[in-house]
Amino acid sequence: MKRREWIIPSILGLVLVISLVWGYNENVAKNEYRTSLTNHYQRLYFDTRKHVENVQVSLSKALLSQSREQNVLLLSQIMNEAYFAQDKLAQIPVSHSDISKTQKFLTQAADYSYSLIQSHLNGKDLTNKQRENLINLQKNSAAFNSEFAKLQDKIAENDFAGKRTSTRQQRKIDEANQKTFQTSIINLEKTMGKTPTLIYDGPFSEQVMNKKPKGLGDKKITSKQGEKTATKFLGYKKVSKIEPFEEGEDIDTTAKIPSYTYKITPENTTKDRASYIGVSKTGGKVVWMANARSVGKNKLNMEQGQDRALKFLEEKGYKNMEPNYSLRYDNIGIYNFAYKEDKVTIYPDLVKVKVALDNGEIVGFDAATYLVNHQDRTIPAKVKLTEDEARKKVKVDFDIDSIRLAMIPKGKGEVLCYEFKGKYKDSDFIVYINAENGNEEEILQIIKDENGVLTF
């Protein structure tokens, strides 16, 4: 009896100590996670602003320069910095429609720069209209930086980390931060929405971006139907709560694919693990999905991540998808897949998938490009140029590894080409020769490193 008298209290005391230690460790881990997530977003804000500042500076130099050669270098810098800014902006946890005008500005800045580079390489100087377009882009990049600086200041002032607060206080801080963040993003969108229309022939020109999506059909759906589609896409067992994410007069209704957007919270998790998803109002297709959770140490390599992404696409009904280019960023594998039809790679039908390399979870999906371009195509059984005739259009000492037919975007349409992959002076390149007239349509350099495979 005496032994029981001291054993039971000892056990209870030990359980209490273990519980206290566990609770303390959980609280420390939660604070560390919140701090890590905040630092990650702060870095994204800083990097985005820095890239757009570089765009602004290079635009100013291009307006001053009278040399075509110098302008080609400056325009190349503008194009790259705009792409980098867009990539960083896309990783900030906001819905697509909240930043659609800003993304369009960055995309068109890159695309317009590329079109001017082609013009210079053809021996043409800038016209007055082209200079006017550059002036407008320069003004809007300055406006972007001004608004983005205000957003950064508000984030710093409102303590987005909230490390030393109670649960109730933290909830209030989160709500205030969300309101501040959304208001700032809307102000930024209003500013970027004033960008004048750029008239030029490019894949991201106004007339091309505003074309009617071809892969949706005509059936209209309700928001409730969209909720069912979003829930099914993520899996019924993973959805505890689903709610509309955006309402109000400031929502952009001119987006390339107008969509219902939802915030989805899974069971037994925190709001930081919530996913956001967009379902097209016409056709009821999932256009995009994002989960901005913090990703832990890699347990999968890039090849395993690609296999997981391809399996995910097949499960969602995307058949005949071919892996192309990939990039590893912050322990996330980002993979591009192109549709393949009759042994022809259709690059306009592109889907992007993001895989968390800590556990293989799909944390990002973007099918907007695919849904805009996918259609029933008539691919000719026989093209005008033979493979040998097209080969003669490529540099003689280009060491070719593979040849195939591919459809690539050009201006408002698409062009069927022979795709030549190979090496030139120890570097990897892709050369596209028009299969109808033999024109050299595009040259891309392939960059391979430990983080993936990209083309430039």
pLDDT 10s digits, 172-185: 444 544 454 555 55
Report the C-alpha gap between 179 and 173 in whole angstroms.
10
pLDDT tens track for 348-393: 999 999 999 999 999 999 999 899 999 999 888 889 999 999 999 9
pLDDT number for residue 166: 47
Question: What is the residue range of 93's domain?
Answer: 19-209
pLDDT tens track for 27-65: 555 555 455 555 666 777 778 888 888 888 888 888 877
- Among residues of the chain, what percentage have pLDDT more than 70? 71
- Among residues of the chain, what percentage have pLDDT more than 90? 30
- Asked whether residue 379 is domain-assigned, the answer is no
Residues 6+ positions from 423 with CB-CB distance below 8 Å? 398, 399, 401, 429
- Asked whether residue 397 is domain-assigned, the answer is yes
How is residue 165 written in tokens? 């607060």
- Asked whether residue 194 is domain-assigned, the answer is yes
Confidence of residue 25 (pLDDT cuts 50, 70, 90): low
Q: Average pLDDT, stretch 182-204? A: 51
For residue 189, pLDDT over 90 is answered with no
pLDDT tens track for 151-172: 666 656 655 444 444 454 445 4
- Asked whether residue 105 is domain-assigned, the answer is yes
For residue 251, pLDDT over 90 is answered with no
pLDDT number for residue 125: 86
Q: Average pLDDT, stretch 86-98? A: 65
What CATH number should be reported for the domain holding residue 447? 3.10.450
- Asked whether residue 326 is domain-assigned, the answer is yes
Structural domains in the chain (count): 3
For residue 220, pLDDT over 60 is answered with yes
Q: Which of 183, 209, 235 is the last residue of a domain?
A: 209
Q: Which of 176, 209, 242 is the last residue of a domain?
A: 209
- Asked whether residue 33 is domain-assigned, the answer is yes
Backbone torsions φ then ψ of 248, nearest 5 degrees: 115, 170
- Mean pLDDT score of the chain, rounded to an integer? 78
pLDDT number for residue 245: 75
Same domain, 368 and 409: no
Same domain, 421 and 343: no
How is residue 132 written in tokens? 């006017």
pLDDT number for residue 247: 47
Report the C-alpha gap between 378 and 299 in whole angstroms.
43
Same domain, 173 and 314: no
Confidence of residue 311 (pLDDT cuts 50, 70, 90): very high
Q: How many CB atoms lie within 10 A of CB 177?
A: 17
- Asked whether residue 93 is domain-assigned, the answer is yes
User: In this structure, are residues 339 and 317 in contact, taking their beta carbons and an 8 Å threshold?
Assistant: no
